[in-house]
Amino acid sequence: MFTRSPRRRFLKISAALASAPFAATIVPSFAESPNEKLNIAAIGVRGRGAANLAGVASENIVALCDVDANNLNEAAKDFPNAKLYRDFRRMFDEIAKEIDAVVVSTPDHTHAPAAAAAMQLGKDCYCEKPLTHCVYETRYLTELAIRNKLVTQLGTQIHAGDNYRRVVELVKANVIGTISEVHVWSAASYSGGDRPKDTPPVPPHLDWDLWLGPAPYRPYHPAYVPGRWRGWKDFGNGGLGDFFCHYSDLAFWALDLKYPTSVEAEGPEPHPESTPPWLIVRYEFPARNDLPPVRLTWYDGGKRPPIQGEAKLPDWGSGVLFVGEKGMLLADYGRRMLWPEEKFADLEPPPQTIPPSIGHPQEWIQACKTRGTTTCRFEYSGPLTEAALLGTVAFRVGQKIHWDAVNLKASNCPEADPWINKPYREGWRL
């Protein structure tokens, strides 16, 4: 992922957008009746891609794009009228006018170039989490979505569940009082180890060069693809990249978090090729309106918050713990509980103010047709992703960074610059 760049200073996002192709504000391509179907192109069609395709199958799937011919052929069975492509750049060159919206479900390192190519053409975008692979890419897509008035949604599907909505209501109803501390943990662990030295042949169905996309070239090996790329820093960001946007989404939503002021990471000795098998990342967020500053601590790879044992909380392998002045609130994807239980035994739940979701992809489809908005639009989920990726930056530089969100810099640490942005291979761009 983060090959060192000689560039020490970064252009403002607005300047980058102003100089990019198709940079003028664009009227989104879909302007038909809400009863009409969207013409959707899917980039990445297996794994999460298959699930995302199923979520938008009510619409016209006009194009399928995947670097793996076997994946394409399998997806084409369900969408026989879709045009098939290996390279999304060629797809946009040939049929951009036939596309209203795009679903991006590739490995993390190609999220940004694929989404940017679509959004620069005025296409609404649904993108899997995390939104991008590095901080600069995240801010670029966030600002591009706002500038071009696009309907966007990050693939944080748990956001649509009833449980998260009830937790948010409990927090906003001040049931556990003022919250200044949150702990978030996931059991996920990914680490590739040393780069393989053998060079087996590339399977005939895989276009390896396209799979690499903007990442630095390396020989093909099954240690990377199809499913193990998250353990390699050129392609993923380990457990932090995989699950922060799912679990910390709850804290961002309930507490109106946006950009941290500082980030500090603890983990094993950084490996030049692999993502760390575990991390502890400490974030400080500023006061928001009448809400006080918040400390959020992330744990993965089997690490847990000490307070879980100290307070004799249930032994959940993953979870989100809000610590308030009146008690604690523990949640995961499908469960929630107030602690200590006996203190809240007679609590009358607050009114349900957040309506049920029609479904995560369905929200996006509806908003595309009505020019409405979504709950995980990039304006919200961009800062969520940015926080996740800043944990990687802090880990790589080995010190606490003070984050200047306006200028996209670690104000105390110029050594962070090459980890905030990254160079692309020749032929690839935002």
pLDDT digit string (tens) for 53-110?
999 999 999 999 999 999 999 999 999 999 999 999 999 999 999 999 999 999 999 9
Domain limits of the chain?
13-159+359-379
- Please report, rounded to a whole number, the percentage of residues in the chain having pLDDT higher than 70: 92
Question: Model's pTM, two decimal places?
Answer: 0.93
CA torsion sign for 10, 296, 48, 124 is negative
Q: Going by DSSP bridges, is the β-strand pair 319-324/401-404 parallel, antiparallel, or unpaired?
A: unpaired
268's CB contacts (< 8 A; 6+ apart) are 276, 277, 278
Q: Please, what's the b/e burial string for 167-185 (b: 16 or more CB within 10 A of its CB; e: otherwise)?
A: bbbbbeeebbeebbebbbb
Q: Going by DSSP bridges, is the β-strand pair 262-266/401-404 parallel, antiparallel, or unpaired?
A: antiparallel
Which residues share a beta bridge with 313? none
- Please report, rounded to a whole number, the percentage of residues in the chain having pLDDT higher than 90: 92
Starting from the edge strand earliest in sequence, which strands make up the sheet with 124-128, in order?
83-85, 60-65, 39-43, 101-104, 124-128, 152-155
Topology adopted by domain 13-159+359-379: Rossmann fold (3.40.50)
Q: How far apart are CA 348 and CA 210, in angstroms?
A: 55
* Lookup result for tokens 């006061």: 287
**Cβ–Cβ < 8 Å for 334, 318:** no
The predicted pLDDT at position 29 comes to 57
Structure tokens at 234: 């050129």
8 has a pLDDT exceeding 80: no
Q: Tell me what the pLDDT averaged over the chain comes to.
A: 93
What residue spans of 20-67 are helical by DSSP H?
48-55
